[in-house]
Structure 1
């Protein structure tokens, strides 16, 4: 897939347009958060409209990420996680899989697959571009939304109300372009957990061979397992309703 930025440029779009580029848009600005939502929705609109008959990419679902993922299939990954954390991941996988199997064709299609905040760029003239399509594949559109939310929650939760404000503005931008996937409020939580599992797969695979990942990996694993434990006890802390309670 091309690594060229996909922008919000569309005729008569309610979102701003512009030209590249500055990475890591200032998500705390409500207008920028809305643009991030617009860009994500436009990406999904394009995915739904353009036919690619020879599109041979991963299917990002519970089977691929959870049960066939590195964290639950590789002995070295389970050594990194430890017995209790591996058991927690397996328990969460069993709990969320039924919800991850929901949704019709309107809620599924080509997804970016790794749409964290650093894979968005602020355009100098306004608007947001999207880069790095290495993990592009097929899946529920909530995968991308949950990935954006997860990446912002990890830093935004340090300031009271910041994540909640971002989520409201992002969703306002998204719904300017297209409706949210069906049952969004209920399904966001399992997709946040699926994103957590995606990161666990990456960290446990990369840490043994990559010194940079090894330096921050253990802390990231601990944070993800804490999210999973919070889910089992009540709800994932990135779930918007949890932040509002």
Structure 2
């Protein structure tokens, strides 16, 4: 069983998608960022950088103590190695997957996250020069991935991998990033293919239900738990 520390953000959705796709048994631990639950002492023992997502694997491969892990890319790589799913068998293929995984982290993820932050500031007008720079960079990055997908069905080639899983949540929020998928035909085709996957549809439906549940709670309970038994 895996404890999955979750709040609906693009980076956290990456792990949610993998867990649902791989049919692992896991438990949602909902960390309510509105209540600053990420700064709680118990959560900091799991994620010392006070960021989500994070996991605790109670059945690690070495059969040792529960394994605590944070950072979405590290979690995806760990789970891919653990399950043998959505990865590759050769060093060359794995390198191809991982370079695009880390491209997403340092590119669209970094610029998109910063754009979210600046756009939510009360002094947004003063932030406009920086916001415009970020939008230009995101446009460039969207063009890069659109070109990449022109001659292959998935980011790393012929197979659906963690490179696709990592990218999807940041394309799903394209409107917030001031991007129109009509401008990127190959990316739009890829996005439609992934959006039709049953596991991805389940992931977002579950997240919506759990967020509603957390919203209805009163008091200062920061974590909601829900077990997911996959078959």
Q: TM-score range by the shorter chain?
A: under 0.3
TM-score normalized with structure 2 length: 0.28
